[in-house]
Amino acid sequence: MLAARETILIRISGPDQTGITTAAMGILASAGAAVQDVEQMVIRGRLTLEIVVDVPSGRDVLKDMLLLGWERGLDVDFDVVEQAPVPSLPSLIVSVIGPELAPGDLEAVTAAVAKANGNIERIRRLAKTPVWCYELEVHGGDLDQMRTQLIDRAAESPRFDVSIQRSGLSRRAQRLVVLDVDSTLIQNEMIDLLADQAGVGAQCAAITEAAMRGELDFAESLRERVSLLAGQPVEIIDRAYEQLRLTDGAPTFIATLKRLGFSVAIVSGGFTSFTDRLRDELGLDHSHANTLEQRRGVLTGELDGPIVDRAAKATILRELAAREGIEPEQVIAVGDGANDLDMLAAAGLGVAFCAKRVVRDAADATVSSPHLDAVLFLLGLRREELDQDGLTTTGDPR
């Protein structure tokens, strides 16, 4: 017979069957037990159900639980645990993403968590296509130390990416995603597409790459590249747009966000001739970019209006957040180049997507897989929850 107010952890495991939880709760209800905590998980048809209960004096529910296990072919065991509730510790979410995740990869991640004094309370597999993703819920530990440990382990094994973010309201309150366009939403660089149509592709490509590495001032390099287009007919814009290709997974990424109630914005150092059409065709909420000056159907080689540079991207993000009635901490920003650094820093979660090293080192999270929908796993979504029917799944936005 159990002593008064004894607290018991009941663990039930075995083949999953309909009605097991109902039967267990019925036994506890009949005994007048108080449930303090409960967790249930099913993996490959195998159930694990754990219940922490306070059992009243004189009521022996263990015998009935053992009978339930015998009738259903389940294993049932018990542990006496502390009556005092376990103190609530800060909760962190560690995401691990890679083309495949071997036991050694998970060993490296879990060792990094342990070294920062974190305790892993739950591990969930979110996806195994187009990439593998595991999400670890970690209690306790030092956030900064854990981030350093995780980044070091990922650097030693470039097979996977890791990110760490706080759980709770801050994560669930995210409502706006701000995307870079060149080499993020699309596989191309807008200026390079235009330069190819103008026959100056080689000169332009060299300037573009140097600018994205942060070796050149963005505004100066942009003006230099745009000047190469002087005298070209505006029809090259349409021809260039026909060569534009969405990043793999972009349609799924956008459709899922919209279904979840997110607003989606694109903020680009490219050109409104492209971004406004992308906004309209993909059903996005906001679009900001540079404007190519035109006169009498010809490109002048100049820009009309202020340049959307690194600082401007961050300013636009804050303005969009204010327009949406949210705080910048509720914004997710995704980008790949040095021009995105301030925007990523201004957001609650800054994601480096297939990014340059300087961006990966500064971002909150990295995704090296060339599938934009893999970013959704950082929100805790499972692959099965992604909307794959809302838009075309090809790389062509039309």
| Residue 90, pLDDT score | 60
CATH number at residue 102: 3.30.70.260
Q: Are residues 130 and 27 in the same domain?
A: no
- pLDDT tens digit sequence for 102-120: 898 999 999 999 999 999 9
CATH number at residue 285: 3.40.50.1000
Confidence band, pLDDT 50/70/90 cuts, at residue 171: confident
Q: Are residues 56 and 155 in the same domain?
A: no
- Select from 47, 80, 113 the last residue of a domain: 80
Q: Is 390 left (phi over 0), alpha (psi -120 to 50) or beta?
A: alpha
- Select from 121, 137, 167 the last residue of a domain: 167
Confidence band, pLDDT 50/70/90 cuts, at residue 225: very high
Q: Per the domain annotation, does 398 fall within a domain? A: no
- pLDDT tens digit sequence for 174-223: 899 999 999 999 999 999 999 999 999 999 988 877 766 667 788 989 99
Split into its structural domains, the chain has a count of 3
Distance CA 17, CA 25 (A): 15
Q: Are residues 278 and 360 in the same domain?
A: yes
Q: Per the domain annotation, does 240 fall within a domain? A: no
Q: Are residues 305 and 160 in the same domain?
A: no
Cα distances (angstroms) measured from residue 4 to each of 57, 66, 143, 383: 4, 21, 41, 47
Domain containing residue 369: 177-189+245-385
Torsion angle of alpha carbons 230, 233, 237, 242, nearest 10°? -130
Q: Are residues 291 and 309 in the same domain?
A: yes
Confidence band, pLDDT 50/70/90 cuts, at residue 140: confident
Question: Which residues are catalytically annotated?
Answer: 180, 182
- Sort strands 176-179 and 263-271 into parallel, antiparallel or unpaired: parallel
- Sort strands 349-353 and 365-367 into parallel, antiparallel or unpaired: parallel
| Residue 58, pLDDT score | 62
- Select from 80, 99, 126 the last residue of a domain: 80
Q: Are residues 46 and 101 in the same domain?
A: no
- The residues that bridge with 367 in the sheet, in sequence order, are 353
